[in-house]
Every structure is written in structure tokens, then in C-alpha cells.
Chains A and B, each alone.
Chain A
Amino acid sequence: MSHAQARASLSSFAEVAVVMLAARGDDEAFAELVRRRQAWLRTLFRRLCRDPALADDLAQQAFLTAWRRLPQLKAPGAFGGWLRSVAVNQWLQEVRVRGNRAEESLAPECIEAPVSQDPGLAIDLDRMLALLRAPERTCVVLCHAEGMSHAEIAAATGWPLGTVKSHVTRGSARLRELLGEESA
């Protein structure tokens, strides 16, 4: 089977099957997973870190970490959630390494305009997110964009549940306030 044929047949496979192939060391299968998940993962990192170039770099690192740890994944059906926890760890590690520098990485006006049906809305949301502190932004994005519960966020980040709840509450309130100011 040629390279192109293999790729075409992989694209029709269910994700569980592709994950199992990739876990056995099939690089084509892993590339297919990257193709399927890259838009979502890059978006998640862009919301978390505000810098498109850094976001793509972190997304690459997260995929490489996933490639290394994939043989340890026990439930191939849980690949999406597992990859998200890898990404969250990658982001928290970046925040720890960079410290305050991550906070001052980009001004809100530097946010790249995404491809959108409603570009104004998307840019507003990204700009407003950029004004939140990193822990609040992390919790708000994981809660509202990723639909994670407070307990899931606490488990993924290693932060106490109470801290997560307060970050989500404060971050959401600040975001609503900013969006209200913007629309007024």
C-alpha cells in the first residue's frame, strides 16, 4: 500500500483504531491523530497563552509528549481527555518555567485574528481572556471552552478544588464585566 493510500485509509478509521495503531508505533497513524486534533489543541493553547507562535510550539511539545507516552495509555477511547491533560501539564510547566514572563508575553492587541464566521466576537473574547491572570484564564478556558467540571480541572492542574472554584468564579465575573464594558 502506498503512503497516500495508507493515509487515505487511516482518515476513514475511527479514532480508537488510529490511537491503537499509533500506540504500537505506527507513525502514519500518529500523524493522522495530529491532523485530527491539531486545530483543537492549537486553539486551546492560543486561549491559554495569548501568543499564537508560542501556542503552536506548546502544541507541538504536547504532541511529542503524547507520542512518547502513548504506549502507556490504557483506554484508547479516552485519547481526547488524555491529550487535554497532557496539554494542561505542558501549559502549567511553561507557566512555572517562565513565571512572570508568561504574564507579560503579549499585549491584548497582539492577538492574532482567527478565521471566524463572526471575527469581531472571537477577537473580543480573545482580548478579554488576555486580560485575565494566568490561573484564572486557565480555569475559565478549561471550564467554559472545554466543558470540564471544577473537580476535573482540580485533578488536571493539581490545584485544590476551592482554589479552582474561586478562579472560575472570579475569572468568569471579570470576563462578563469586560465583555459588558466592551458592548456598552
Chain B
Amino acid sequence: MRLSRSKTFEQVAMPHLDAVYRLARRLADSEAEAEDLVQEAYLRAFKAFDRFELRTYGAKPWLFRILHNAYYSRRQRANREPTLLDDVDFDCFTGELEPVSLESWPDAVPDWDAFDDELKNSVSQLPAEYRTVLLLWAFEDLSYKEIATVCNCKIGTVMSRLYRARQILSQRLAAYVSERNLASGSIDG
């Protein structure tokens, strides 16, 4: 019985190990911590597998959610990172942004291909909540709804975090280009 159950879990969960590890690697401070996190997440998932509903979550979002919870449990225990205060729903989010300041959008759009290291560096400096939604959006191509499921938050919060994360990255990269007087593509000219 146990063997059969574990085999089924393996079939469901192990194909997503690389993706879960990638997310853990970007969240954790070190490779060792990332591996610990993945192990903890898989153990939690295995114990909760009886309650897992594939049709409700899909295996990958379910594993991401467990990893996300494990990560934040650790952070809260260590009291290392406060929760962001701007967890707003979408109505608040859009109201807050009205009117949008066009100055907040950089004039020139950096050629991302040329700034791989700076891009990675900028991502690593994002607050963890922003980093998580950005990674789920960019690497895993999850929908807002799936990201909201993983992060246990509202869809509006996902949109808010993604908006801010992308704005921060754009501004940092534009500033980087400007400071170094590097070539970039202006889309307005």
C-alpha cells in the first residue's frame, strides 16, 4: 500500500523537481539552503499527498505552493524579512496608480540580451514577494490565477507585485545603461 502510494507520488512530483529547485534557488540565500528547502517541500508534499487534488491545483503549482509556504515559514521563524505592506487587491492597485506618471517609465528600453549579469543582479535584489511572482511568471509561464494559488494571495496582489517588479527592473536596467552611457534602443525616437 505504502509502496504503491509512494510510486504514485514519485510519478506526480519528481518530474517537477528541476522547476521546484530553480524557484528555491532564486529564493534562498545559498545553494545549500535551496536544497534543504526542496527536501522539506517534497517531504511536506508527500505527507499531504492523500489530500492532493490534481484537478484543483495541477501538480506543479501545488509543489510551488508548498515550497513557497516552507520558505515563508522559515523566514518568519528567522524573522529575517517582513511581509510587504503593499499587498493590495487590484481595485486598490489601479486606483493607487491613477494617474500613471509617464516619467516612471524609462525613456529608453535596454537591450536585455546585453545585460544578463545586471538583470540577474537586479532580480536578486527584488523583495522576495516580488521575486517569487516574477519567477513564476517568467520561468514557469503560470497564469495570474495559478500564481495566486501558489502564493496564497489574491489575483490583484499578483498583478500589483508583477507590475512593480517589472517597473523596478526596467528602471534599474535603464539607470544602469544611462550611468555607463551604453547603447540602448529608444522606442520613442
A, B bound: no
Q: Using CB atoms and an 8 Å cutoff, list the residues of chain A in contact with chain B.
A: none
Interface residues of B (CB under 8 A from A): none
